[in-house]
Structure 1
Amino acid sequence: MKPRLPDYGGASLADLLPGVGAQLGVPNAVDTIGLPAAEKYLVFLVDGLGAALLDEYAEHAPYLASLRGRQLTCGVPSTTATSITSLGTGLPPGRHGLAGYSFWYPPSGQVLATLRWPAEISALDVQPQLTYFERLQDAGVATAVIAPAHFAGSGLSTAALRGPAFLPVRDESDQPRRVELAVEAMSRGQRAVGYLYERNLDHAGHERGVGSTAWLRRLAEVDALAQALRSGLSDEVVVLITGDHGMVNVPKTNRLIVEDEPELLTGVRALAGEGRLRQLMTAEPDAVAARWRDRLGEQAWVRTRAEAEAEGWFGPLSPSLAPRFGDVLVARSDDGAVMTRTLPREMSLVGMHGSLTAAEMDIPLLIG
């Protein structure tokens, strides 16, 4: 089985806002996806909504299933921090440098966890490129982000989504309020782009697993919210519904715990990433990669950074950002994971993502 490679520059999540920009007259923007023409767009991103999951559980999301047709890929790793930054900047990971859920950050000589951003590290230093929202604003397009209130000013929000008006969601169970905020976002200008983020499906998948009762309940709630957004917005607004990655359930019997096989860590100075795509920092990439290939065989795609770059995992890789990506990358091709006891919270996860299987890489693009 070959890895599902991202379609950068064609139909990837990084191409979505540039496509919107082209429809709205942003200079030099190109729509490679083929979006419907409009002057107002709402991007509704459902964390953890993979294309294969929507197909498999269509009966629990009849409205979303009725829109099914188009498809995108996310980037690599197939994880939220990387995907949100690709969406927000219009750039592949190799150009924006948010290299995973956690990644090696050379200026501080540490692994940077993107959801627990250290106060001493500036998001503008980590990701100084203009966001696509800033480009839209420069072209006279009104922009707004609708997200949980405590996301305001966070490191990841600043790196990936800075520029728009921030419309806080204080109660994520209050769907009518989110529809009101979407209407507000779309009323901010003659040309407008809004972004609405929903995270509960992903949380249920991590905690209970894809297909669990809790996960199916969240999927039904997402379906209801999507339908309510469409009903509450005027016909001039195009609603673009997508995800940031898919998810697979990882059985406890298929988890390689690195502390139990210490020979695999010979020459490895740091671990980053996540269980489905572990990033190894080492001065001996060829030797380390060979050792991991011998251990995992067809259970993983093991690549040195140079091999992954040549294969197109990250898109064009800026030399200044390359050291953030693992010297060796271990991407599970089966339903397994590479775990470490230094991250005990990860041990409790049921659903995971990050690798290059179609289940994780393919995301829907639904036009509402």
Structure 2
Amino acid sequence: MGASGFSNVLRLPAARRICVVLVDGLGKALLTQRAGHAPFLRGVMAADGGGEHPRTLHAAFPSTTATSLTSLGTGQVPGQHGMLGYDVLDPEQDKVVNLLGNWDGGVDPQRWQPFPTVFEQLDGRIPTATVSLPKFAQSPMTRAALRGSTFLGATSPQARVQVAAETLAAHPTMLLYLYWSELDKAGHGHGADSAKWESQLEELDAGMKRLAATVPPDTLILLTADHGMVDVPRPARIDYSQYPELVDGVRHTAGEPRMVHLYLEPDAGPGTCARLVAAWLERFGTKAWVLTKDEAVASGYFGEVRDGASGRIGDILVLARETIAFYDMRRVGPHAIEVVGQHGSITKAEREVPLLRIPVTARSPKGSKRR
């Protein structure tokens, strides 16, 4: 868009108006497999042979909304912005805190995530707007990851598309972020292999067709996602707290069912860590990857990790490899284990997301010239 201080790492074309559509939970594999329910987006993918931009991106790690949206909103790797999972340990309070919808009152969002967002960096240079659900207007997650734009709330997907198109039309230059939540919700509740999920994909497809037909002709529409999803059958959702050898010496558990953080007792020695890793590998070694914190950091899973975020990472990380999910039922409610669609790990299904450049089909006003 011409703003200084940024690099065009995705090799995108210049545009005066850009609309970034973030579809929660739309993995690249799911979109490809269910393209029959998305004829408009299927056509976009089939016709997208021009330009140098990549067609596939990788979600941040862990592959979960709080982490990926903050990387999108700030341009920082997780090890810097510190949003390292659905819930993680706050070392200052010695307690596990939620970073999504049930934010802990003792955590200041802007202190927890201190880096300026892209919106804040563009303040005074390019108008910016967020179109999302009204309940997210002042949420701690928004203040941590996406602060700094004009927030426009709209409840239904149709209303969000309309607000986005009208807002773009009202500004000759604008960066607009449009959040689409419904697909992820259907996947968690019913699974990505359900009729509910397919129905929401059809709704998304219709919404993107409508958006392309109503935004100004010089708009660049980019569709991507924060993570993919895999369905985990009920027998494969494991309460690991029932196995004493997997939690002996563990002070806190956190993370996602497919990417577990285990935090050891302060007085635990190297032997405790080695024993726990061996116990997890013995029971789930073919179904999960088990890493120490030092191994994960050294291998770059979180990018470069700043000192202030290091204590939020578990001493041991358990990453689901097969179709399985891990729960500590001592600290989560019974509803948690009923979730069907899951994400958080490093499999392709969870990390690979699309980057679609959607052609605008709106016509220029009669008598005007396109630039």
TM-score exceeds 0.5: yes
In structure 2, what residue type is equivalent to 1:301? W
Return the TM-score normalized by structure 2: 0.89
Alignment check: 8 A CA contact 1:279 1:326 kept: yes
1:201 aligns with: 183
Q: Whole-Å Cα distance in 1 between the matches of residues 106 and 136 of structure 2?
A: 18
User: Does the 8 Å contact 2:165/2:214 carry over to 1?
Assistant: yes
1:89-238 → structure 2 map (5 Å cutoff): 89-114=74-99, 115-138=101-124, 140-169=125-154, 171-173=155-157, 175=158, 177-187=159-169, 189-238=171-220
Q: Distance in 1 between matches of 2:166 and 2:113?
A: 29
Q: Which moved more, 1:100-109 or 1:268-277?
A: 100-109
- Work out which of the residue numbers 28, 33, 51 in structure 1 matches 2:10: 33
Aligned to 1:71: 56
CA distance in 2, matches of 1:231, 1:328: 49
Matches of 1:191 and 1:91 in 2, distance apart?
25
Deviation at 1:188, TM superposition (A): 5.3
- Give the match for residue 360 of structure 1: 350
Q: Is the 8 A contact 2:169 2:216 kept in 1?
A: no
Please say if 1:304 is aligned against 2:281: no
Query: Which one of 332, 337, 348 corresponds to residue 338 of structure 2?
Result: 348
Higher deviation after alignment, 63-72 or 97-106:
63-72
Tell me if the contact between 2:237 and 2:337 (Cα under 8 Å) persists in the aligned partners. no
1:85 alignment partner, one of 70, 74, 77: 70
Q: Is the 8 A contact 1:142 1:188 kept in 2?
A: no
Whole-angstrom distance in 1 between the partners of 2:167 and 2:293 = 41
- Consecutive unaligned residues in structure 1, runs of 5 or more: 1-23
Deviating more after overlay: 353-362 vs 314-323 = 314-323
Deviation at 1:27, TM superposition (A): 2.5
The answer to whether the 8 A contact 2:193-2:231 is kept is no
Greater Cα shift, 71-80 or 115-124:
115-124
Q: Which residue of 1 aligns with 2:245?
A: 263
Identity of aligned residues (%): 40
Task: Map 1:15-54 to 2 at 5 A.
Answer: 24-54=1-31
Are 2:166 and 2:215, in contact at CA under 8 Å, matched by a contact in 1? Answer: no
Instruction: State the secondary structure of the residue aligned to 2:285.
Output: helix
Answer yes or no: is 1:281 the counterpart of 2:258: no
Q: Secondary structure at the match of 1:308?
A: helix
Instruction: Tell me what 1:15 maps to.
Output: none
Distance 1:322 1:272 in 2: 15
Aligned to 1:246: 228
Deviation at 1:154, TM superposition (A): 0.7
Q: Report how many residues are paired.
A: 341
- 5+ long unaligned stretches in structure 2: 49-54, 359-371
**In 2, Cα distance between equivalents of 1:155 and 1:39:** 30
Aligned partners of 1:91, 1:318: CA distance in 2, in Å?
11
**Quick one: which amino acid aligns to residue 309 of structure 1?**
V
Give the structure with higher Rg (CA). Answer: 2
In angstroms, what is the RMSD of aligned CA positions?
1.4
Cα distance in 1, alignment partners of residues 169 and 43 from structure 2: 27
Q: Quote the Cα distance in structure 1 between the aligned partners of 2:103 and 2:163.
A: 27
Q: Which amino acid aligns with 1:113?
A: N
Q: 1:57 and 2:34 equivalent?
A: yes
Q: Is contact 2:58–2:351 with CA below 8 Å preserved after alignment?
A: yes
- Secondary structure of 2:57's aligned partner: strand
**Shift in Å at residue 360 of structure 1?**
0.2
